[in-house]
């Protein structure tokens, strides 16, 4: 209870205090910081997906700046030879302000990545964004079949239906590629599962559907029962290693990550960075109040 109370108050804490937590989970503020972390992970036989922090912008000029920042990121990452791709949040490009502008920005980024033979993943945000995000994915999948993917959230009751509805996008030369996550946004019970075991059951149900239908699965979880369940499904359906990967957040459960890599599974780490780290960090802390104890420990045991 104490940890929860502290986590709710964290947005009002000094940024230097929050950074004691954030520095373990965020690569830094600059592209070079992201490159350094990505290169280190690559040396451990781990791929990355890079995310510039920021979402739910208030004005379109910020969307254009975010587009330019991502274009600069693609140039730098490709020049550095990083084994990684890119994650983007549609609200960062004005989804809730001007859908046309948002699509044009994400299309430009996808075209840029595609010119390097690389890949962009559209992150899924709260329920108000789902239909429009799927629409953007549908349109880009037809133009860039090998270079675009989408995130789906198992706690939303609609997800299985969304999977079924997108099977028409399958083609011979490119996988239909989804990252499957539990979901982090607070949604009403009418549209989202709330119980831990129920969410996990639907995660594995969605994943099994993906394997049955030959879809590429990016299995994004740190949850031990879900990892074990995924491994059992991989064995059951004899899924080739090139048809799935595990994904984890930078700085989270490195031991589990190492065990999967050592067992020969493909692993990709989500590497967030950028000047908007404060909002990302406080949101993460609200989602997981138990992390507060690590902040308190870091303050007591400074290096």
- Phi/psi at 293 (nearest 5 deg)? -60, -30
On whether the CB atoms of residues 85 and 119 are closer than 8 A, the answer is: yes
Angle of CA points 149, 87, 9, to nearest 5°? 130
On whether the CB atoms of residues 114 and 144 are closer than 8 A, the answer is: yes
Known catalytic residue at 132 = no
> What is d(CA 79, CA 77) in angstroms, rounded to the nearest whole number?
5
At 267, is the secondary structure helix, strand, or coil? strand
The beta strands (E) that lie in the chain are given as 47-52, 84-88, 120-122, 148-153, 177-181, 216-220, 244-249, 267-273
- By the 10 Å C-beta count (0-12 exposed, 13-18 middle, 19+ buried), 99 is classed as middle
From the list 51, 121, 162, 179, the catalytic residue is 179
Nearest-CA neighbor of 122 among 154, 153, 90, 146? 90
> What is d(CA 148, CA 87) in angstroms, rounded to the nearest whole number?
10
User: Rg of the chain over CA atoms, in angstroms?
Assistant: 19
Known catalytic residue at 138 = no
- By the 10 Å C-beta count (0-12 exposed, 13-18 middle, 19+ buried), 132 is classed as middle
Distance from CA of residue 194 to its chain's centroid?
21
From the list 51, 123, 162, 206, the catalytic residue is 123
On whether the CB atoms of residues 154 and 125 are closer than 8 A, the answer is: no
Active site residues per annotation? 123, 179
């Amino acid at each position: 209870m104490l940890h929860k109370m502290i986590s709710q108050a964290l947005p009002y804490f000094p940024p230097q205090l929050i950074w004691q937590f954030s520095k373990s989970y965020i690569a830094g503020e600059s592209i070079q910081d992201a490159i350094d972390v990505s290169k280190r992970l690559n040396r451990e036989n781990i791929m990355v997906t890079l995310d510039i922090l920021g979402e739910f912008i208030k004005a379109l000029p910020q969307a254009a700046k975010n587009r330019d920042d991502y274009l600069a990121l693609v140039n730098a990452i490709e020049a550095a030879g990083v084994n990684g791709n890119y994650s983007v949040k549609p609200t960062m490009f004005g989804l809730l302000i001007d859908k046309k502008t948002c699509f044009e920005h994400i299309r430009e980024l996808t075209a840029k990545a595609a010119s390097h033979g690389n890949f962009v993943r559209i992150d899924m945000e709260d329920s108000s964004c789902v239909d429009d995000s799927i629409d953007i994915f549908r349109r880009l999948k037809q133009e860039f079949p090998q270079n675009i993917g989408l995130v789906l959230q198992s706690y939303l009751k609609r997800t299985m239906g969304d999977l079924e509805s997108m099977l028409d996008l399958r083609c011979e030369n490119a996988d239909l590629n989804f990252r499957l996550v539990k979901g982090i946004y607070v949604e009403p019970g009418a549209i989202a599962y709330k119980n831990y075991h129920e969410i996990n059951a639907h995660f594995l149900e969605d994943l099994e559907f993906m394997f049955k239908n030959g879809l590429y699965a990016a299995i994004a979880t740190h949850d031990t029962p879900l990892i074990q369940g995924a491994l059992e499904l991989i064995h059951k359906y004899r899924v080739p290693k090139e048809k799935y990967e595990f994904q984890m957040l930078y700085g989270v459960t490195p031991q589990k990550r190492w065990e999967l890599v050592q067992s020969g599974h493909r692993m990709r780490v989500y590497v967030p960075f950028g000047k908007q780290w404060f909002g990302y960090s406080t949101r993460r802390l609200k989602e997981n109040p138990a992390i507060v104890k690590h902040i308190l420990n870091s303050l007591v045991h400074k290096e």
